[in-house]
Structure 1
Amino acid sequence: MGETELLANQALYGYNTAMKDYVQRYKFTGDYQWRLIFQREFTAAVQQFVVQEWLVVPIPVDEQTFEVRGFNQVLGLLDRVSTANLLQFKQQSGRIKQSTKTRKDRMETMQPFVYCGQQKLSGQKILLIDDIYTTGRTLYHAKHVLAKQGASQVRSLTLAR
């Protein structure tokens, strides 16, 4: 992807058949109760960064997905963790979902995000959180937007990779 600085991602689990089945049930079928299966572990992992004063920024879902699913699957994995919604999608409808793209298509995806915060992030440490790290393209796009706003460090934490 031409990155000069790698995004330090920590994944709690491998993306195996069991995890794929979980994601299908939770995210794509929309069974919100399934968030509870990994909520304690995911929250604990995020809290390790919160106590070190990292700002937690979830990868957003677009409006169309939210209307259908009714929730952001990343936020569902958290229990009482303060987050900063600093990213939003440029294109609000008709966007092709990452889950339907090939690896090549994912890698060629143009920057989908814009910064929607109220102020610069001068010197702020950012923890991006997402459910699945596949190619990393989504997280790198988010990282670029936040770094452009002055974030000093951007790392990511995902449920699976």
Structure 2
Amino acid sequence: MNKPITHCLLCERVLEVRFGWKELLQKTLPRAICNRCESKFERIETQQETGIFSLFYYNEAMKDFLHRYKFMHDVLLAHVFNEILHLHLKNEKRLIIPIPMHPENLNIRTFAHVDELLNAAKIPFEHHLTKRSSDIQSLKTRDERLQTSQLFDVIDCSKIKGRNILLIDDIYTTGTTMRHAKKVLENAGAIEVSGFTLIHS
């Protein structure tokens, strides 16, 4: 997005412009939401899953954001969390791989939501996975998700062998998606595979 963000992307209030030594030295990204909207999102202070790092709980504010972003196709909302994602991932040395969408679902959604979160945060990534099925995990029950057969394939195992990998997804619910992706990457020769999500449900 080339135009500067002058109003909160969630409530449309005029944003307070911040530009000082802190912003200059840390090279922070432009602010995209106001303090009031930001305060509605609940940060996770204690991580509950080994090998998975998540930033926010799935509270009402986050449910509303995710609905508008993913299901109302508001791609501009990818910038809502650009600052915090950039802060946590800008110095990442592991190979960053976003969880992919099935091509059929991508056509319906019109954009890859995890890719756009990373693009907005200016975080480089590579695609090394393809999704086998167009089934949507969020439409399944917990038991159905846990019984799901392998979801992914590795595109080229030679590019995975010997690498340390950080998988990125928007939300962690049962962990099925992350487990499947981790397993197929480890089978392809990855040394270590960890996960990072914006939300933990």
Which residue in the other structure is 2:73 paired with? Answer: 30
Q: Which ranges of structure 1 fall in alignment gaps of 5 or more residues?
A: 1-5
TM-aligned CA distance change 1:7 to 1:89, over 3 Å: farther
1:89 correspondence with 2:131: yes
CA distances 1:77-116 after superposition (whole Å, capped 9, x unpaired)? 113322110100123xxx3211111111111111010000
Report the TM-score, using the length of structure 1 for normalisation: 0.87
Based on CA coordinates, which of the two structures has the bigger radius of gyration?
2
Q: Which ranges of structure 2 fall in alignment gaps of 5 or more residues?
A: 1-48
Q: Which one-letter code corresponds to 2:128 in the other structure?
A: L
Q: In the aligned structure 2, how far is the partner of 1:62 from the partner of 1:134?
A: 19
Which residue in the other structure is 1:73 paired with? Answer: 113
Q: Which one-letter code corresponds to 1:77 in the other structure?
A: L
- Paired residue secondary structure (1:127): strand
* Superposed CA RMSD: 1.5
Question: Aligned pair count?
Answer: 150
1:110 correspondence with 2:149: yes
Summarize the alignment of residues 10-159 of structure 1 with structure 2, pairs less than 5 Å apart. 10-49=53-92, 53-78=93-118, 79-91=121-133, 95-117=134-156, 119-159=158-198
- Paired residue secondary structure (1:82): coil
- CA shift, 1:120, in A, is 4.5
- CA shift, 1:57, in A, is 0.3
- What is the aligned-residue identity percentage? 37
Matched-pair contact (CA < 8 Å) for 2:102–2:132: no
Report the TM-score, using the length of structure 2 for normalisation: 0.71
TM-aligned CA distance change 1:122 to 1:7, over 3 Å: farther
Matched-pair contact (CA < 8 Å) for 1:147–1:154: yes
Q: In the aligned structure 2, how far is the partner of 1:119 from the partner of 1:143?
A: 16
Q: In the aligned structure 2, how far is the partner of 1:7 from the partner of 1:147?
A: 16
Q: In the aligned structure 2, how far is the partner of 1:121 from the partner of 1:76?
A: 23
Matched-pair contact (CA < 8 Å) for 1:7–1:156: no
Matched-pair contact (CA < 8 Å) for 1:120–1:150: no
Q: Which one-letter code corresponds to 2:68 in the other structure?
A: R
Matched-pair contact (CA < 8 Å) for 1:39–1:76: no
Q: In the aligned structure 2, how far is the partner of 1:77 from the partner of 1:44?
A: 13
Task: Report the more deviating stretch, 82-91 or 132-141.
Answer: 82-91
- CA shift, 1:139, in A, is 0.5
Q: In the aligned structure 1, how far is the partner of 2:69 from the partner of 2:62?
A: 10
Q: Which one-letter code corresponds to 1:90 in the other structure?
A: R
